[in-house]
Structure 1
Amino acid sequence: MATMKSVQTGPVGKIDVVDVERPVPGPKDVLMRIRACGICGTDVTFLHMGGMPSRGAAGGDLVSVPLGHEPAGEIVEVGDEVTDLKVGDRVVVNPQDAPTGIIGCGGKFGGMSEYLLIENAVAGKSVAVFPDTVPFDVAALNEPMAVARHAVNRSEAKPSDKVVVFGAGPIGLGATIWLKLRGVEHVVVADVIPERLETALSVGADAVINSATEDITARLTELHGQAANALGQARAGTDIYIDAAGAPAVFNATIAAAQWGAKMVMVAVQKKSDAIDLAGMLRSELTLIASQGYPTEIFEVTQEIAEHHERFAKLISHRIPFAEAERAFELTLTPGAAEKVVVTFGDEA
């Protein structure tokens, strides 16, 4: 029996790197060798929990699950009935298409493994092929960049809109890139970490705000002009607010600054928050738009990432070999220690 190494949730705050049976593809499947896999905030959530609740377990018991839903790699085996994929294809994955559960999020398989079985493999549905001009580590950004793209799509931002993105993590920076590629004239990024703001400028943000030291409403008014809410009270001329931070302060800052008819897109997983100022939302007729996942965007982004891969590469702060997976997850678990960690397997170029 051939085996492989795979990362699973361990005790609270820890991973286990275990030997498991290497999957064997059926006639409709392909086997991919993982060359890079990103670590997501969702992985961190599972580690803080020490696993995932099992529907079959009594009393909400937690079970260990394989991690990794941001993989990129190359196909090494192809089932007899697969006609649109071949050995050697470099592919990214739609983790939500797996029939045995979402890859790396409670499903049977995880992408933070040496190999990954793609069940019922169909090009354009379960995987997408990307060109060999794109490094595997950048290709592994495909899934989070689809999340960011959906948020921008939900915003319906027009070139004439003035936009602020709260949070200069991977999703916020990805949204910034998509907004600029969409032709949006002015995009501001707000965060509390200076290094993140520097990255925001390097990927195309027109201005940044350090929300730890600057007055957001005043700075947005300076950048986007002065407008008013429905009662005529002075507000910033910002049209769209994108919350990629998930902090309660973002809602408060948005409501304080929002002009009449502004929109707020919520893409970040929300932390427990204080009461929202609903009256303040009313005074601005602020539209709240939720953005979850990537209903259509998972492979819409693939070719554009390829075209602009040098720009997207700036989102990766750490590239850690799979042999040091524990260190990679420790970095991600430590607030402020890393922005985007991608684990690499062998020669990831």
Structure 2
Amino acid sequence: MATMKTVRTGAQNQIEIVEAERPAPGPKDALVRVRACGICGTDTFFLHMGGAPFGPGGSMVSLPLGHEPAGEIVAVGAEVTGLKAGDRVVVNPQGAPSGIIGCGGPLGGMSEYLLIENAEVGTSVAVFPDHVPFDVAALNEPMAVALHCVNRSEAKPSDKVVVFGAGPIGLGATIWLKLRGVEHVVVADVLPERLETALAVGADAVVNSATENVTERLTELHGGAANALGQPRAGTDIYIDAAGAPAVFDAVIGAAKWGARMVMVAVQKKSDAIDLGGMLRSELTLIASQGYPSEIFEVTPQLVEHQQRFARLISHRVPFAEAERAFALAMTPGAAEKVVVTFDE
């Protein structure tokens, strides 16, 4: 029996690297040898819980991890068309009929091999050219999340936008906003090194929200405006929350002009009551952004075209043999921006 190594949740805050049977593709399936897989906040969320409450009575069960894989096809079923051995592919983790890859389903992308069920180009996988590094290709899924957020914002070139949170999603949103032609994009974060990366990928200005007054700084950058009561506010049109911190809502409500929009893409942490009165005084529109209903492979051609720009989002490339160190980095606040695990060629 051929085997492979795969990463699963272990005890709380720990991974397990286990030996598992290597999948054999059926007539409609393909087998991918994984070459790179990013670590997402969802992975660390499951690790902090010690699994997921999917067992009997809500008991914790171990899960395979990884939903940001890129790799190469090594075998295809007899009924598969449009794919062949050697093709480099990125994966739609939500396209697996058995359940979301790395997020509750039986398959995980942080494995040496990954079965693609009902393999179909444009639905479950997309092919990318050989000159794109696997680690950059592994950004495809999180960049789809970021693109959906920007699409939800309906940002126009004339809009003034601020992105809270210079992690991978916030930086990805910054890139998409600039590629969309948005005139002025500000990024706010509390870590100076992340703000440096924001400028490197195209942000027009940055705000250190740990040391600067956000409303005053945005007013300097975007001009002055007012809320419905005529109280002075920043001229910012769109606020994107890619941080998920309660302080972001407070900052937005304190700065938002009449008719401003806020897009919430970050997973929200528990917070105190939101100032609904403040939202009312600005007629602030709150827009939620979840996943990527159509964007998963819309991003791929631009990821290819602008690969050097997107590559700046990766702070750490860690070999699969050191997976424990990779996940420890990802779980340590401020230790890494984006960790991608790489597999031997």
Q: TM-score higher than 0.5 here?
A: yes
Alignment of 1:304-323 (within 5 A): 304-323=302-321
The Cα of 1:58 is off from its aligned counterpart by 2.9
Query: How far, CA to CA, are the matches of 2:219 and 2:81 in structure 1?
Result: 56
Match of 1:288 in 2: 286
Match of 1:173 in 2: 171
Query: How far, CA to CA, are the matches of 2:24 and 2:252 in structure 1?
Result: 51
Query: How far, CA to CA, are the matches of 2:232 and 2:129 in structure 1?
Result: 50
Q: Deviations over 1:77-123 (max 9, x none)?
A: 01000111111110000000101110001111100000000000000
Match of 2:260 among 259, 262, 274: 262
Match of 2:42 in 1: 42
SS at match of 2:196: helix
The Cα of 1:8 is off from its aligned counterpart by 0.3
SS at match of 1:23: coil
SS at match of 2:114: strand
Instruction: Give ranges in structure 1 of 5+ residues lacking alignment.
Output: none
Query: How far, CA to CA, are the matches of 1:275 and 1:326 in structure 2?
Result: 37
Does 1:336 find its partner at 2:329?
A: no
Q: Deviations over 1:163-189 (max 9, x none)?
A: 000000000000000000000000000
Match of 2:141 among 129, 140, 143: 143
The Cα of 1:333 is off from its aligned counterpart by 0.8
Query: How far, CA to CA, are the matches of 1:137 and 1:215 in structure 2?
Result: 37
Match of 1:14 in 2: 14
Amino acid at match of 2:313: L
Match of 2:186 among 161, 185, 188: 188
Match of 2:89 among 91, 102, 105: 91
Query: How far, CA to CA, are the matches of 1:173 and 1:296 in structure 2?
Result: 20
The Cα of 1:319 is off from its aligned counterpart by 0.1
Query: How far, CA to CA, are the matches of 2:323 and 2:208 in structure 1?
Result: 32
Match of 1:117 in 2: 115
Q: Deviations over 1:49-70 (max 9, x none)?
A: 101112xx33321111100000
Match of 1:81 in 2: 79
Query: How far, CA to CA, are the matches of 1:195 and 1:94 in structure 2?
Result: 31
Query: How far, CA to CA, are the matches of 1:344 and 1:102 in structure 2?
Result: 22
SS at match of 2:266: coil
Q: Deviations over 1:26-79 (max 9, x none)?
A: 00000000000000000000000101112xx33321111100000000000010
Query: How far, CA to CA, are the matches of 2:180 and 2:232 in structure 1?
Result: 29
Q: Deviations over 1:213-257 (max 9, x none)?
A: 000000000000000111111000000000000000000000000
Query: How far, CA to CA, are the matches of 1:307 and 1:58 in structure 2?
Result: 47
Query: How far, CA to CA, are the matches of 1:131 and 1:208 in structure 2?
Result: 34
Query: How far, CA to CA, are the matches of 1:293 and 1:211 in structure 2?
Result: 27
SS at match of 1:62: coil
The Cα of 1:14 is off from its aligned counterpart by 0.3
Query: How far, CA to CA, are the matches of 1:191 and 1:115 in structure 2?
Result: 37
Query: How far, CA to CA, are the matches of 1:48 and 1:302 in structure 2?
Result: 31
SS at match of 1:254: helix
Cα root mean square deviation, aligned: 0.5
SS at match of 2:46: helix
Amino acid at match of 1:31: L
TM-score w.r.t. structure 2 length?
A: 0.99
Query: How far, CA to CA, are the matches of 2:98 and 2:142 in structure 1?
Result: 21
Query: How far, CA to CA, are the matches of 2:174 and 2:315 in structure 1?
Result: 17
SS at match of 2:11: coil
Match of 1:64 in 2: 62
Query: How far, CA to CA, are the matches of 2:131 and 2:248 in structure 1?
Result: 38
Match of 1:4 in 2: 4
Query: How far, CA to CA, are the matches of 1:59 and 1:281 in structure 2?
Result: 39
Amino acid at match of 2:17: V
TM-score w.r.t. structure 1 length?
A: 0.98
Q: How many residue pairs were aligned? A: 345
Match of 1:52 in 2: 52
Query: How far, CA to CA, are the matches of 2:249 and 2:331 in structure 1?
Result: 25
Runs of 4 or more, structure 1, over 2 Å off, are none
Query: How far, CA to CA, are the matches of 2:213 and 2:130 in structure 1?
Result: 45
The sequence identity of aligned pairs, in percent, is: 81
Instruction: Give ranges in structure 2 of 5+ residues lacking alignment.
Output: none
Query: How far, CA to CA, are the matches of 1:26 and 1:290 in structure 2?
Result: 38
SS at match of 2:279: helix
Match of 2:221 among 209, 220, 223: 223
Q: Deviations over 1:274-302 (max 9, x none)?
A: 11110110010000000000000000000
Q: Deviations over 1:290-330 (max 9, x none)?
A: 00000000000000000000000000000000000000001
Match of 1:238 in 2: 236
Amino acid at match of 1:13: N
The Cα of 1:132 is off from its aligned counterpart by 1.1
SS at match of 1:7: strand
Query: How far, CA to CA, are the matches of 1:266 and 1:311 in structure 2?
Result: 24
